[in-house]
Amino acid sequence: MIDQEDFIAREEDPRESMETMERVSNKLADLFGGMNHEVPLLLFTDPFINGQYCEAVRTIIRGVRELSHKVTLREYGLDHQLAQQYHVTHSPTLLFDPEHYFIRWLGAPMGQEGRTFVEAITMLGYRKTGISKPSEKILEKITSPRAIKLFVSPTCPYCPQQAVNALKAAIAGPDKISLEIIDIQANPELTEQYNALAVPICYANEILIARGAQPEELFMASLEKLEQQNFFIPESDAEQVDTDLTIIGGGPAGLTAGIYAARSGLKAVIIERGALGGQVALTPVVENYPGFAQIDGKTLVDIMVNHALQYVPIFPDEEVMEIHTGPPFEILTNRRRYSARAVLLATGASYRHLNVPGEERFAGSGVSYCSTCDGALFKGKEVVVVGGGDSALTDALYLANNDIRVTIVHRRDTFRAQDHLVNQLPQHNIKVLYNTEIKEILGDTKVEEVVLHNKQTGETSTKRTDGVFIAIGFEPATELARKTGIDLTDDGFIKCDDNHRTSIPGIYSAGDVEGGYRQIVTAAGHGSGAAITIFEDLVNPYWTAPGKK
Ligand code: FAD
Ligand code: NAP
């Protein structure tokens, strides 16, 4: 509504500056003129604290009141009982219509913040925020209170955008959303307490939810999830979606397949039931994805998702329940139906868990399921590897090769792993505790020791260790494949050929659900390979060629 340029101080000759003032005044008078609601303001001050900011707020409000009788001001000392009633402790603090909203400004709305202040007055005066429909839908999902603290500065050109987002949330959801806009210059102690060194920075319920200014929907989504969101996917009302390719699973395999399929001209969609990015979204640090020497999994996922969204629609929070074979295939989720000429299962796998006390608590703090991912963090240290299959022994050898002292803990007296792996253990000084189970993982902030139980002797002991690598197998997400009648391997993964074709023509697989190396880069490779095959097969269906399956 307001042109930001109007509020930015520039060096001008006095005549020009008078003209600008008059222009701004007229514009504001027009803007405030149509307001149909009172905007009561309560100002709390202490003459001995931030005196110049108190005077600045008064001057600004005086100016606004000259333009609109709808704006009223009452001023109280910090020692007044109303300050106690409203829990006001900082001078100056300005409350906006406190009977109806919890919106307060700690400091003075000067400089760039003038725009935010005018937006606040007009949103309240018109009872209109201009909030988008998708933002409203996100706010509807918020069921518990959100207390926003937004740190801003009069010299920050990005702050008003985020402040306006926060105002929209607080005005649209007054029963659950409160807002404090905190000017860092007038509130150095709070600024230090919240480490608000770069503005805008936003906390909700004391959790950091956003750095920098965000598009409105991303702000609302961050507020809802209480975590910074970096992509926004609008909800779709469609009951039926027609596609060439429906991709099930939004991990690296599915996302890559989506990019490749769409770039080949296929109408593709990705359906994801849980966290976009799959297992990567849960990975603290990735150090082996080319192009990124070190990146946290969530950031890598955000980059992948944003890239995929440039090409392919993603349907989040949706679980595929059934696939009715075709073509055309019919894919049923908990929300809608899809029709597709081909289907890609990129449903992933998850590491099997030991399910002992301490495992969940120390995941990422000494408990690991991926030696190639986390091994380097234990160089020169001591770890235990749990399991007796190929994974456990491969992990143990990998770790020992990286200057780590390794003990394998295996529940039986013989290994399931291949002999050539077993035979290498002595030359790498890998100790083995047979017939032994881990009963508990202990430590303070990270793993320090494990409680062991010898099944033969019945003895219980503890062993000091810096890490616990759990390699007791994988559980591929194959329920859907199983239900659809797709063949699985003896290890329980989806059976496919080198081109990712499964036993049912028109249905393909990619990524961890196929087994193999189970890495991000291999999952992405599978995704691209599968999408290329699918494109070629849809152009020239192998299942209709004479003599083919
Ligand atoms: P996933 O990432 O598992 O994604 C599959 C997706 O499909 C999931 O999001 C799931 O919710 C969805 N899905 C399943 N069924 C359905 C359904 N019915 N409807 C809708 N959606 C469905 N690899 C590395 O290269 N480097 C590392 O540093 C590394 N660290 C790791 C650390 C941890 C803790 C873990 C768990 C794994 C790590 N990995 C690492 C392995 C890597 O994350 C996986 O190999 C990779 O994510 C596999 O990708 P994917 O797309 O095949 O499957
Ligand atoms: P796996 O073969 O199923 O072995 C799992 C191991 O963990 C077994 O030794 C099992 O003990 C043990 N285990 C299972 N649940 C346990 C629990 N709750 N507590 C303690 N121990 C438990 O799984 P994997 O080793 O991951 O291998 C999976 C597949 O990938 C296999 O086909 C394997 O050949 C293949 N793979 C190959 C290579 C390679 O060729 N280098 C490397 C890795 C994986 P029991 O023995 O008592 O059952």
* Cα–Cα distance, 87 to 301 (Å, whole number): 42
Instruction: Determine which residue's CA is closest to atom 18 belonging to ligand 2.
Output: 354
Tell me the CA end-to-end span of the chain in Å, nearest whole number.
64
Confidence of residue 16 (pLDDT cuts 50, 70, 90): low
Q: Where are the domains of the chain?
A: 4-225, 240-350+477-544, 367-472
Residue type, 352: R
Q: Is the CB of 317 under 6 A from ligand 1?
A: no
Residue of 326 and 121 predicted with greater confidence = 121
Statement: residue 116 has pLDDT above 90: yes
- Please give the distance of CA 126 from its chain centroid, rounded to a whole number: 35
Strand ranges, E, within 107-154: 146-152
Q: Using a 6 Å cutoff on CB, does residue 327 contact ligand 2?
A: no
Give the closest ligand to the alpha carbon of residue 385.
2
pLDDT at res. 8: 43
> Distances in Å between the alpha carbon of 507 and those of 86, 336, 473, 503?
62, 20, 26, 8
Identify the residue whose tokens are 């994974």.
391
Read off φ and ψ for residue 439, nearest 5 degrees: -100, -30
| Closest C-alpha among 173, 174, 184 to residue 105 | 184
8 Å CB contact between 311 and 284: no
Written as six digits, the tokens of 522 are: 């291999």
Report the C-alpha dihedral over residues 45, 46, 48, 53, rounded to 10 degrees. -10
pLDDT at 62 > cutoff 70: yes
Cα torsion 33, 35, 37, 41: sign: negative
Residue 390 has pLDDT above 70, yes or no: yes
Q: How many CB atoms lie within 10 A of CB 283?
A: 22
Q: What is the pTM of this model?
A: 0.76
Alpha-carbon distance of 268 to 323, in angstroms, equals 16
Residue carrying structure tokens 């690296």: 252
Considering only CA atoms, which residue is closest to atom 3 of ligand 1?
348
Average pLDDT in the 492-520 region?
Answer: 95
Is residue 547 predicted with pLDDT exceeding 60? no
The answer, yes or no, to whether residue 539 has pLDDT greater than 60, is yes
Dmax over Cα atoms in the chain, in whole Å? 97
With a pLDDT cut of 90, the percent of the chain lying above it is 79
Neighbours of 136 (CB within 10 A): 14
C-beta neighbour count of 137 within 10 angstroms: 14
Q: Is the CB of 435 under 6 A from ligand 2?
A: no
Backbone φ and ψ of 460, nearest 5°: -115, 135
Helix (H), strand (E) at residue 270? strand 268-271
For a ligand 2 pocket test, name from 390, 495, 513 the mutation site with the most ligand atoms within 8 angstroms of its C-beta: 390
Q: What value, to the nearest 5°, has the Cα angle with vertex 197 and ends 194 and 202?
A: 55
Whether cis (ω within 30° of 0) applies to the bond prior to 327 is yes
Architecture of domain 240-350+477-544 in this structure? 3-Layer(bba) Sandwich (3.50)
pLDDT tens for residues 391-406?
Answer: 899 899 999 999 999 9
Question: What CA–CA distance (Å, rounded) separates 435 from 459?
Answer: 11
Catalytically active residues are: 370, 373-374
- Classified as helix, coil or strand, 59 is helix
For residue 339, what are the contacts with CB-CB under 8 A and spacing of at least 6? 240, 241, 242, 243, 326, 328, 329, 330, 331
Same fold, 240-350+477-544 and 367-472: yes
Residue 373 Cα: closest atom of ligand 1: 28
Contact 120, 78 (CB under 8 A): no
Q: What is the number of the ligand 2 atom nearest to the C-alpha of 515?
A: 30
| Amino acid at the residue 264 | S
314 closest CA partner among 265, 264, 243 = 243
CA 139 vs CA 99, 221, 274: distances in Å: 21, 8, 20
pLDDT score for 381 = 96
Query: Per CATH, which fold does 4-225 belong to?
Result: Glutaredoxin (3.40.30)
**pLDDT above 70 (res 2):** no
- For ligand 2, atom 5, name the residue with the nearest CA: 472
Mean pLDDT of the region 305-334: 95
Q: Identify whether the C-beta of residue 379 lies closer than 8 Å to the C-beta of residue 412.
A: no
Is ligand 2 within 6 A of the CB of residue 358? no
pLDDT, tens digit, 9 for 90 and up, residues 217-252: 999 999 999 999 988 998 888 999 999 999 999 999
Question: Does 11 have pLDDT greater than 60?
Answer: no
Query: Two tokens at 527?
Result: 């995704």
pLDDT in tens, 408-457: 999 999 999 999 999 999 999 999 999 999 999 999 999 999 999 999 99
Whether 387 lines ligand 2, by a CB cut-off of 6 Å, is yes
Tokens coding 90: 């900082």
Fold annotation for 367-472 = FAD/NAD(P)-binding domain (3.50.50)
